[in-house]
């Protein structure tokens, strides 16, 4: 194990709103702004990036609710955004007529509150009321208010929930499932609801009846009501950790009927079907399979499964979506997605057929279906250099292109290729390279390159059009690389589990292997290679800084986890113990100390310049991680800049202007550190 420094003179920076801490933040922000925001071309770059975010010809992705398509929209005229809806007939037009339901800018001005949209649940079947969630300045905690769609107003005596990390779901017109902060003992150690209660209209929230209760050590408890006509039923459950859960059918007399699947399996009920995705071998099927059962037969003890998808070493399940009569299946082969439609047959079994052709090195995503109503689907296809195309279709019927996003950056002379690096233990690690064409055989000098990664929580990094990266990096001659390292879900559960806990170093080794491969292939040099990542990817960046500083010329570390001995004590950190380990467990503490970038910072090391960013209002990953690391690096004389938005939550921004400025800081930092320009 590497030598670690366990002294921590910077605990005071964990006081989020402490006077001394905020004064320190203001000083660091001023330094960073003075150095980066005054660089030549900064303002022009920020304007060009905001132009992308505010563009009125972006695709307005929608959610179908009965006859209407709902959308939340932000642009230069709607800084906080509007919740609106239209009809399919209007949506087909170049300039649809939108019916604005709620204007957040007007609401924020009227209430003198920095409201940020956090979603809405529309009551069915009437679709006349909604439960709207609003965040103060972008945090995960929300207030919930009942909203009347016909009058475009909040319901004075409706369901209203104070600020908390609330889960809520309609049961009927006058009843909801509610999980929220009811006072001492009602939240898990992670800060999420521990109880599920049935709350009836007109009664105090304190009198809501508890129907299910989890444990304090759980991540959360939840309740969900399936209002599919003819299949109405309630489910409750608890997330034991990020990957283990229990699901129960809640009967009319509040009896719990356990859905007897492994704790690490995902379960989905639709009409008469039960779909199960185990993350470990089960019933003779490998981890990562998609298994279908009859729900009633399963509850009666029948474990006869039909495998709708079986993975192999190169192929993994990416997702699935129901329509009224069909199942749309998304899979990945070497990180490029495929899509097909499966249909349950009356005589038993399933048929399957391709749903759409997907170009190589591209991604396809089902953006919306309405499973209880029709076989309509909305499909988005994009690639690194291919702007999104939104298609609507009906399974077995016609398809139509509804929207084609315009190109946002000049891709002339750029290509996309996929390569594989060999990690320290011999594992092949895929990565995508987007940059100047190297397939014509012409010799090219190594150039500035930005390597991005995440490597955790089963998150897969798939191809997609990144307009901000295009304008901020590719157009200036840079190369952009995405590393599909272990810890992600690109090759199913085993790919994720290979980097769990004490094996997290494998994700770090994979990323370093890609960096070395880029240099070996002549694409870049260590001095011209930058790296970036956020959240769990920020932990990855901390590891690159402290373990492999010789591989990089600059590192951007955003909303990061860096103190791996205290992450479980800060905000939602306890919910990630299953990913990293438990610092309070003597068996886990040694590897967590070894992984912890904050504790690996050394006085005599030669670190590349690093930009650390966070948000005061991030109530998921505590800003103390970035603050403390910046303070320690700075005190030891290492090249570090720090920037903290006062708002923005875990995303770091609540509006397009703020998001554009954040990205301009990042690209300016990388350009100046890697190229000196």
List, for residues 51-60, the tens digit of each pLDDT value.
999 999 999 9
Backbone angles phi, psi at 591, to 5 degrees: -75, -30
Q: What is the pLDDT of residue 5?
A: 59
**Cα angle value 471/615/108 (rounded, 5°):** 90
- CA end-to-end span of the chain: 39
Q: What is the pLDDT of residue 361?
A: 87
Give per-residue pLDDT as tens, 42-84. Answer: 999 999 999 999 999 999 999 999 999 999 999 999 999 999 9
Average of per-residue pLDDT values in the chain: 95
If pLDDT is split at 50, 70 and 90, which confidence band does 654 have?
confident
- Residues 225 and 338 occupy one common structural domain: no
- Residues 562 and 648 occupy one common structural domain: yes
Per-residue pLDDT for 17 more than 90?
Answer: yes
Q: How far apart are CA 197 and CA 341, in angstroms?
A: 37
3 state DSSP class of 515: helix
- Residues 204 and 342 occupy one common structural domain: no
- Residues 442 and 512 occupy one common structural domain: yes
Q: What is the pLDDT of residue 2?
A: 46
Asked if 450 and 473 count as a contact pair (C-beta separation under 8 A), the reply is: yes
Per-residue pLDDT for 662 more than 70?
Answer: yes
3 state DSSP class of 654: coil
If pLDDT is split at 50, 70 and 90, which confidence band does 181 have?
very high
- Residues 251 and 391 occupy one common structural domain: no
Give per-residue pLDDT as tens, 271-293. Answer: 999 999 999 999 999 999 999 99
594 in a structural domain: yes
104, 70, 55, 57: which is closest to 367 by C-alpha? 70
Domain end call among 214, 232, 258: 258
Residues with catalytic roles: 535, 650
Report the percent of the chain where pLDDT is more than 90. Answer: 94
Please give the residue range of the domain that contains residue 502.
Answer: 11-50+408-675
If pLDDT is split at 50, 70 and 90, which confidence band does 439 have?
confident
Peptide bond into 125 cis (omega under 30): yes
237, 241, 242, 310: which is closest to 268 by C-alpha? 237
Q: What is the pLDDT of residue 7?
A: 75
Q: What is the pLDDT of residue 651?
A: 86
Overall average pLDDT of the 567-576 stretch: 95
- Residues 670 and 600 occupy one common structural domain: yes
Give per-residue pLDDT as tens, 450-460. Answer: 999 999 999 99
Q: Which domain CATH number covers 551? A: 3.40.50.1820
Considering its fold, how many domains does the chain have in total?
A: 4
Token pair listed for 657: 């202007």
- Residues 428 and 572 occupy one common structural domain: yes
- Residues 465 and 603 occupy one common structural domain: yes
If pLDDT is split at 50, 70 and 90, which confidence band does 236 have?
very high
662, 530, 538: which is closest to 609 by C-alpha? 530
Overall average pLDDT of the 597-623 stretch: 96
581 in a structural domain: yes
Per-residue pLDDT for 30 more than 90?
Answer: yes
77 in a structural domain: no
Length of the chain: 677
Q: What is the pLDDT of residue 142?
A: 97
Q: What is the pLDDT of residue 3?
A: 52
Q: How far apart are CA 61 and CA 382, in angstroms?
A: 14
pTM of model > 0.85: yes
Asked if 662 and 668 count as a contact pair (C-beta separation under 8 A), the reply is: no
- Residues 304 and 370 occupy one common structural domain: no
C-alpha pair distances (Å), 502 with each of 221, 261, 422, 582, 609: 28, 27, 21, 11, 28
């Amino acid at each position: 194990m590497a030598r670690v420094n366990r002294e921590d003179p910077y605990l005071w920076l964990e006081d989020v709103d402490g006077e001394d801490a905020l004064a320190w933040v203001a000083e660091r922000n001023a330094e960073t702004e003075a150095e980066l925001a005054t660089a030549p071309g900064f303002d022009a770059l920020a304007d060009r990036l905001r132009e992308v975010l505010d563009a009125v010809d972006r695709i307005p992705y929608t959610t179908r609710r009965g006859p209407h398509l709902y959308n939340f929209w932000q642009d230069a005229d709607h800084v906080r955004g509007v919740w609106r809806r239209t009809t399919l007939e209007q949506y087909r037009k170049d300039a649809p007529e939108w019916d604005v339901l709620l204007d957040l800018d007007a609401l924020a001005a009227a209430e003198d509150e920095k409201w940020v949209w956090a979603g809405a649940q529309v009551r069915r079947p009437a679709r006349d009321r909604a439960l709207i969630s609003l965040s103060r300045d972008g945090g995960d905690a929300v207030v919930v208010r009942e909203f009347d769609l016909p009058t475009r107003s909040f319901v004075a005596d409706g369901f209203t929930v104070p600020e908390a990390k609330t889960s809520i779901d309609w049961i009927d017109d006058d009843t909801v499932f509610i999980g929220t902060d009811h006072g001492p003992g009602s939240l898990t150690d992670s800060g999420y609801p521990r109880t599920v209660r049935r709350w009836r209209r007109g009664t105090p929230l304190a009198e809501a009846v508890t129907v299910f209760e989890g444990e304090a050590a759980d991540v959360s408890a939840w309740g969900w009501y399936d209002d599919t006509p003819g299949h109405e039923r309630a489910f409750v459950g608890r997330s034991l950790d990020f990957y283990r859960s229990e699901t129960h059918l809640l009967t009319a007399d509040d009896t719990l009927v356990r859905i007897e699947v492994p704790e690490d399996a995902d379960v989905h009920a639709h009409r008469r079907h039960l779909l199960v995705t185990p993350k470990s071998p089960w019933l003779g099927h490998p981890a990562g399979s998609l298994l279908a059962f009859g729900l009633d037969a399963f509850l009666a003890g029948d474990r006869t499964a039909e495998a709708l998808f079986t993975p192999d070493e190169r192929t993994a399940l990416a997702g699935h979506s129901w329509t009224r009569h069909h199942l749309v299946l998304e899979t990945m082969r070497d990180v490029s997605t495929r899509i097909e439609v499966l249909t349950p047959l009356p005589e038993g079994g399933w048929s399957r057929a391709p749903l759409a052709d997907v170009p190589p090195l591209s991604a396809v995503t089902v953006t919306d279906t309405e499973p209880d109503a029709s076989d309509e689907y909305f499909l988005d296809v994009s690639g690194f250099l291919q702007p999104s195309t939104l298609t609507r279709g009906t399974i077995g019927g016609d398809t139509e292109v509804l929207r084609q996003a315009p190109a946002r950056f000049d891709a002339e002379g750029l290509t996309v290729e996929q390569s594989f690096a060999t990690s320290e233990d011999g594992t092949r690690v895929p990565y995508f390279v987007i940059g100047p064409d190297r397939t014509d055989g012409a010799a090219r000098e190594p150039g500035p390159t930005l390597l991005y990664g995440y490597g955790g929580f089963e998150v897969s990094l798939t191809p997609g059009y990144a307009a901000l990266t295009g304008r901020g990096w590719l157009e200036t001659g840079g190369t952009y690389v995405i590393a599909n390292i272990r810890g992600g879900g690109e090759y199913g559960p085993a790919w994720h589990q290979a980097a769990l806990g004490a094996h997290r170093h494998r994700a770090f080794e994979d990323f370093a292997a890609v960096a070395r491969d880029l240099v070996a292939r002549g694409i870049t040099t260590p001095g011209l290679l930058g790296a970036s990542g956020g959240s769990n990817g920020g932990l990855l960046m901390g590891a690159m800084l402290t373990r492999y500083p010789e591989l990089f010329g600059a590192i951007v570390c955003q909303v990061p986890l860096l103190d791996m001995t205290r992450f479980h004590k800060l905000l939602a950190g306890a919910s990630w113990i299953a990913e990293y380990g438990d610092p309070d467990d003597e068996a886990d503490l040694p590897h967590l100390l070894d992984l912890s970038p904050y504790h690996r910072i050394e006085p005599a090391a030669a670190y590349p310049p690093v930009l650390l960013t966070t948000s005061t209002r991030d109530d998921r990953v505590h800003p103390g991680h970035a603050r403390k690391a910046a303070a320690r690096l700075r005190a030891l004389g290492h090249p570090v800049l720090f920037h903290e938005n006062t708002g923005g939550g875990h995303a770091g921004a609540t509006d397009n202007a703020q998001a554009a400025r954040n990205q301009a800081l990042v690209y300016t930092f990388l350009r100046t550190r890697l190229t000196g320009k």
